[in-house]
């Protein structure tokens, strides 16, 4: 079942297109990673989902309800964690959690207590005195404890230390087991790699790629490194091979598509070492935005 | 000794960063300083010209002014008695200077606490400084930057008085005008010193403002009591405002000593503040703060409750302001009436204000209280709308919207609370008005005052409606536009009180469209039109708000 359905979404600020004809669908129970460099439109997408801003064109449906015209119904089962939590400085942590629970209309108080402990939060203090990370924890605890069907998070772990990052990942996995849908916008590729079933890569308001990590890796080049006793063979004419780098008896390259021909040439030259490696999400990300860079100009 | 290049660039960076802060402060202060400078200049000029126009004959003028000055109660707000009081400058210094000094000092205190404690509370300095500059440097820079605001105030007032007072009819000596303007700027400097001090003491801007207001009002009250109570004249010596009172800028022999002494003490305090600011950590305060508190959950269960919790402080502040205004005005009604009965000019001023030339002077004066109720209500509404906008621009509204609270519910809860507060303040202030009048044996009808007075809520509703309309269309400019409309109306009224304005101009003031009861009879038709316009603008504004993008800072 589709939980979030985005169709041909465009958002213009003046003549600037923050989002350009973007379509996306997220299934129920999925942890969906939303990746993109600064200013690519992640926050804009989320604010559109939440009905805080209006699309120039296109629609968003959440659980079948239109996020613009049926806001109440669409947002009834959502919890949202902003990247920079904007809370009321004069309330204490505990008061804030109480207020947010009232807003959500539901709260698993036992789970909340457990989260407060796991996140190591002192709820009696005024929000004003909390560090950035601690403020973020309040927003996270409120959202997780609501057990909302859909969790929408915009770089939710900004400011969390590595220990808390682990607690967060654990909580998200738990949400996943409960069948909750998670929309996770993030910069932390490691986090996305560890948590997400599927990801979308966003650039300048357009989705460049969507798919599972395996699929994305399939689209991307495989890294090959090989060592020889003598000069490495010439592989520049083989289809799909790029980034060839020869230093002494050592060769490295990338290959897309079928590897048959490359392997044949390499093995004929009797390599003494051969290493092939899948790219990490980080390499995917970097290489993708690097190669696409010229278009940006 | 040579400094290594690396250290040099560091030093340069530090310099550049601090001048960034100074420029930031200057940019921030220039706008409001200009507005307050103009207000001070116009209000001063209007008073001095007004008295000459109302009483061209010096003998008649002397009779009225001495009559006024002999009333001790007026000493609460008016200034020092001195020999040159019937000259335009002397009258201006007597009549308006203390209030102007008070207003400017409160403005400066509000500004400086916002710049010092407010920015620190939001963590802005840390961003800007990133550890390169000390708290001491940034405090110094902010205070220096704000000094430009005081120069603006001084220059505007001095220019206005020198140009406006140079004709032979007014003959205001230039030296006096310069000292008068310097006195006003010194009032603002006192506000800077107080605000800078409380910004070191308090952990939040709100607390810094409360401490600052307490200090300023306490000093002003000491001055006022010293002025009004014959036996207690000496206590004026305990207040900086009391010292400024004694300078008498337009007198033949002004007492400059008090001015220099005030400046010296104020600058000393500022020096102390700068020293203190270097002795504490960023983000900390000298009066330790209570960081933890027992949870108070009762007002967190509904939008209505939470709106009230958030707006409560604004309401209480303006409630106290309006009640004390009304109480002071009405309680001296009888004495004022006695003093000015039979003197044409001031009677005319009041009948201009109330629009009824036949009202008895004590009733006319009593009715003026309504004017102050309206002003406080309008400021309260402007502050509340500013708060609403701030919830949106800071993104705090997102917590509600994402949680499924509709924008309509969010906004109308806040509007409901604002309307209830407006009604309550109106009712309480009017009741005080009524009972204090009765206590002095002034014959006013309960219905005339309480129910007739409802018509003054017309302009208040109009401003609320206008505010909502702007909020729906141009949320970023809400504050500017509302304060511009109120400031315009205020200025037009001040000028209209002194000069004859063409009615097109005079009518552009929102205050013009209400009847001050019981002196004047309410014009319910005007009231209905204002309410109708208010409703129209409100509905349009709310509808537009519901459809537009939420706009962050
Ligand atoms: N209110 C606005 N007016 C004009 N332009 C805007 C507005 N809001 C966002 N933008 C622009 O839209 C683009 C997308 O912004 P968005 O905040 O969605 O990026 P993001 O992917 O969330 O970036 P980050 O990783 O930095 O959070 C940016 O270029 C931004 O400048
Ligand atoms: Mg963002």
At B232-256, the pLDDT tens digits run 888 889 999 999 998 989 887 788 8
* Per-residue pLDDT at A297: 34
Q: Which range (B313-322, B331-340, B369-378, B516-525) has the least confidence?
A: B331-340
Of the candidates B292, B306, B402, which has its C-beta nearest A99's C-beta?
B306
Give the containing element (helix H, strand E) for A147: none
Interface contact A88, partner B, CB < 8 A: yes
pLDDT band at A294 (very low <50, low <70, confident <90, very high): very low
Query: Among residues of chain A, what percentage have pLDDT more than 90?
Result: 58
Measure A44 CA to ligand 2 centroid, in angstroms: 7
Q: What is the pLDDT of residues B380-407, one digit of tens each?
A: 999 999 999 999 999 999 999 998 899 9
**Chain B positions in Cβ-Cβ contact with residue A89 (cut-off 8 Å):** 121, 204
Of the candidates B296, B401, B406, which has its C-beta nearest A50's C-beta?
B401
* Per-residue pLDDT at B314: 85
Residue at token pair 């000493």: B75
Of the candidates B291, B300, B396, which has its C-beta nearest A125's C-beta?
B291
Say yes or no: CB of residue A233 within 6 Å of ligand 1. Answer: no
Long-range contacts of A167-176 (CB under 8 A, 24+ apart): A167/A118, A167/A119, A168/A140, A169/A194, A169/A195, A170/A118, A171/A115, A171/A118, A171/A140, A171/A144, A172/A31, A175/A144, A175/A151, A176/A29, A176/A31
Say yes or no: CB of residue A186 within 6 Å of ligand 1. Answer: no
* Per-residue pLDDT at B360: 73
Say which residues have a Cβ less than 8 Å from residue B279's Cβ, sequence separation at least 6: none
- End-to-end Cα spacing for chain A: 40
Measure B130 CA to ligand 1 centroid, in angstroms: 25
Q: Which DSSP string corresponds to B275-304?
A: HHHHTS-TT--SS----B-----GGGSSHH
Give the containing element (helix H, strand E) for B152: helix B135-164
Does position B131 have pLDDT exceeding 70, yes or no? Answer: no
Is the bond leading into B518 cis (omega within 30 degrees of zero)?
Answer: yes
Q: What is the pLDDT of residues B77-87, one digit of tens each?
A: 788 777 788 88
Q: What is the pLDDT of residues B403-421, one digit of tens each?
A: 889 999 999 999 999 999 9
Instruction: In whole angstroms, give the CA distance from residue B218 to residue B279.
Output: 28
Instruction: In whole angstroms, give the CA distance from residue B102 to residue B84.
Output: 23
- Average pLDDT in chain B: 85
* Per-residue pLDDT at A212: 85
User: How many residues belong to chain A?
Assistant: 297
Measure A8 CA to ligand 1 centroid, in angstroms: 18
* Per-residue pLDDT at A203: 87
Q: Which DSSP string corresponds to A43-92?
A: HHHHHHHTTSS--SEEEEEETTEETTTSHHHHTTTEEEE-SS----TTSB
**Chain B positions in Cβ-Cβ contact with residue A47 (cut-off 8 Å):** 550
For the residues B276-290, what does the mean pLDDT come to? 75
**Most confident region among A74-83, A176-185, A198-207 by mean pLDDT:** A176-185
* Per-residue pLDDT at A293: 47
Residue at token pair 């402080």: B313
Structural Rg of chain A based on CA atoms: 23
Does position A295 have pLDDT exceeding 50, yes or no? Answer: no
In three-state secondary structure terms, B455 is helix
Q: What is the pLDDT of residues A30-74, one digit of tens each?
A: 999 999 888 899 999 999 999 999 999 999 999 999 999 998 888
- The Cα of B285 is separated from the nearest Cα of chain A by a number of Å equal to 12
Q: What is the pLDDT of residues B173-198, one digit of tens each?
A: 899 999 999 999 999 999 999 999 99
Residues on chain B bordering chain A, Cβ-to-Cβ distance under 8 angstroms: 121, 204, 206, 289, 291-293, 295-297, 300-302, 306, 310, 394-396, 398-406, 547-550
pLDDT, greater one: B60 or B197: B197
Q: Enter the DSSP assignment of B117.
A: I
Burial-class residue A214 by CB neighbours within 10 Å (0-12, 13-18, 19+).
Answer: exposed
pLDDT, greater one: B552 or A282: B552
- The Cα of A79 is separated from the nearest Cα of chain B by a number of Å equal to 6
Indicate the top mutation candidate among A35, A37, A44 to test ligand 1's pocket, ranked by most ligand atoms within 8 A of CB: A44
pLDDT band at B5 (very low <50, low <70, confident <90, very high): low
Measure A51 CA to ligand 1 centroid, in angstroms: 16
Q: What is the pLDDT of residues A183-241, one digit of tens each?
A: 999 878 888 888 998 999 998 899 988 988 777 776 667 888 999 998 899 888 888 88
User: How many residues belong to chain B?
Assistant: 553
Categorise residue A159: left if φ over 0, alpha if ψ from -120 to 50, beta otherwise. Answer: left
For the residues B440-451, what does the mean pLDDT come to? 88
Atom of ligand 1 nearest to the CA of A187: 25
Does position B54 have pLDDT exceeding 50, yes or no? Answer: yes
* Per-residue pLDDT at A111: 96
Say yes or no: CB of residue A13 within 6 Å of ligand 1. Answer: yes
Q: Enter the DSSP assignment of A150.
A: E
State pTM to two decimals: 0.78
* Per-residue pLDDT at B399: 94
Query: Among residues of chain B, what percentage have pLDDT more than 70?
Result: 87
**Most confident region among B255-259, B344-348, B515-519 by mean pLDDT:** B255-259
Does position B108 have pLDDT exceeding 60, yes or no? Answer: yes
Spatial contact of B511 and B371, defined as CB atoms under 8 Å apart? yes
């Amino acid at each position: 079942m589709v939980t979030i359905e985005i169709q041909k979404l465009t958002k213009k600020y003046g003549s600037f297109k923050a989002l350009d004809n973007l379509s996306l669908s997220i299934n129920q129970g999925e942890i969906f990673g939303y990746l993109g460099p600064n200013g690519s439109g992640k926050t804009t997408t989320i604010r559109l989902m939440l009905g805080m801003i209006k699309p120039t064109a296109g629609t968003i449906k959440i659980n079948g309800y239109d996020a613009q015209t049926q806001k109440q119904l669409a947002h009834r089962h959502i919890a949202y964690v902003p990247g920079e939590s904007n809370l009321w400085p004069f309330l204490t942590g505990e008061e804030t959690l109480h207020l947010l629970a009232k807003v959500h209309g539901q709260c698993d108080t036992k789970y909340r207590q457990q989260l407060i402990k796991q996140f190591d939060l002192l709820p009696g203090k005024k929000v004003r005195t909390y560090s950035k990370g601690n403020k973020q924890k309040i927003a996270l605890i409120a959202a997780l404890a609501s057990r909302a069907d859909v969790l929408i998070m915009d770089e939710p772990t900004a400011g969390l230390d590595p220990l808390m990052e682990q607690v967060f990942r654990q909580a998200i996995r738990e949400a996943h087991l409960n069948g909750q849908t998670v929309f996770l916008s993030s910069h932390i590729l490691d986090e996305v790699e560890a948590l997400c079933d599927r990801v979308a890569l966003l650039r300048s308001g357009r989705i460049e790629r969507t798919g599972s990590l395996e699929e994305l890796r399939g689209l991307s080049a495989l890294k090959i490194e090989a060592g020889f006793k003598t000069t490495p063979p010439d592989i520049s004419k083989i289809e799909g091979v790029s980034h060839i780098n020869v230093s002494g008896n050592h060769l490295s390259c990338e290959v897309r598509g079928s590897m048959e021909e490359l392997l044949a040439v390499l093995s004929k030259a009797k390599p003494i070492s051969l290493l092939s490696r899948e790219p990490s999400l980080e390499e995917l990300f970097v290489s993708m935005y690097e190669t696409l860079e010229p278009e940006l100009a | 000794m040579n400094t290594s290049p690396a250290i040099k660039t560091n030093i340069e960076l530090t310099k550049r960063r601090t001048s960034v802060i100074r420029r930031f402060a200057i940019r921030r202060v220039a706008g409001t300083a200009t507005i307050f400078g103009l207000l001070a200049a116009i209000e001063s000029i209007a008073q001095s010209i007004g008295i000459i126009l109302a009483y061209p004959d010096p003998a008649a003028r002397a009779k009225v002014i001495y009559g006024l000055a002999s009333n001790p109660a007026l000493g609460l707000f008016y200034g020092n008695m001195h020999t040159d009081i019937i000259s335009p400058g002397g009258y201006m210094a007597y009549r308006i200077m203390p209030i102007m000094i008070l207003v400017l000092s409160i403005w400066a205190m509000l500004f400086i606490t916002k710049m010092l404690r407010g920015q620190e509370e939001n963590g802005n300095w840390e961003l800007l400084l990133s550890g390169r500059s000390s708290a001491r440097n940034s405090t110094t820079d902010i205070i220096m930057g704000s000094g430009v605001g005081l120069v603006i105030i001084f220059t505007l007032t001095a220019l206005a008085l020198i140009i406006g007072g140079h004709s032979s009819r007014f003959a205001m000596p230039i030296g006096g005008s310069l000292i008068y303007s310097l006195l006003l700027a010194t009032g603002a400097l006192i506000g800077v010193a107080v605000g800078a001090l409380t910004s070191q003491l308090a952990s939040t801007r709100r607390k810094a403002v409360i401490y600052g207001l307490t200090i300023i009002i306490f000093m002003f009250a000491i001055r006022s009591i010293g002025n009004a109570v014959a036996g207690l004249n000496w206590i004026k010596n305990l207040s900086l405002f009391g010292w400024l009172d004694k300078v008498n800028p337009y007198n033949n022999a002004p007492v400059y000593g008090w001015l220099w002494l005030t400046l010296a003490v104020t600058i000393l305090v500022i020096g102390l503040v700068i020293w203190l600011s270097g002795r504490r950590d960023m983000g900390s305060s000298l009066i330790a703060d209570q960081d933890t508190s027992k949870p108070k959950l009762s007002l967190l269960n509904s939008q209505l409750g939470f709106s009230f919790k958030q707006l409560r402080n604004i309401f209480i502040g303006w409630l106290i302001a309006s009640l004390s205004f009304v109480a002071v005005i009405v309680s001296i009604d009888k004495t004022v009436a006695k003093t000015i009965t039979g003197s044409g000019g001031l009677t005319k001023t009041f009948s201009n204000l109330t629009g009824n030339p036949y009202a008895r002077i004590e009733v006319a004066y009593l009715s003026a209280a309504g004017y102050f109720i309206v002003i406080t209500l309008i400021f309260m509404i402007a502050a509340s709308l500013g708060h609403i906008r701030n919830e949106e621009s800071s993104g705090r509204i997102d917590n509600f919207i994402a949680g499924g609270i509709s924008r309509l519910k969010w906004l109308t809860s806040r509007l409901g609370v604002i309307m209830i507060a407006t009604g309550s303040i109106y009712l309480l202030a009017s009741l005080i008005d009524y009972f204090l009048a009765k206590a002095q044996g002034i014959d006013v009808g309960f219905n005339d005052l309480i129910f007739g007075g409802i018509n003054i809520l017309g302009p208040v509703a109009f401003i609320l409606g206008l505010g909502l309309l702007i909020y729906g269309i141009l949320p970023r400019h809400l504050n500017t536009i509302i304060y511009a409309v109120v400031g315009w109306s205020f200025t037009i009224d001040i000028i209209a009180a002194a000069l004859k304005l063409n009615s097109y101009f005079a009518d552009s003031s929102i205050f013009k469209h209400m009847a001050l009861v019981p002196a004047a009879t309410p014009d319910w038709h005007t009231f209905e039109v204002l309410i109708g316009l208010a409703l129209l603008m409100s509905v349009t504004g709310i509808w537009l708000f519901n459809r537009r993008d939420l706009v962050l800072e």
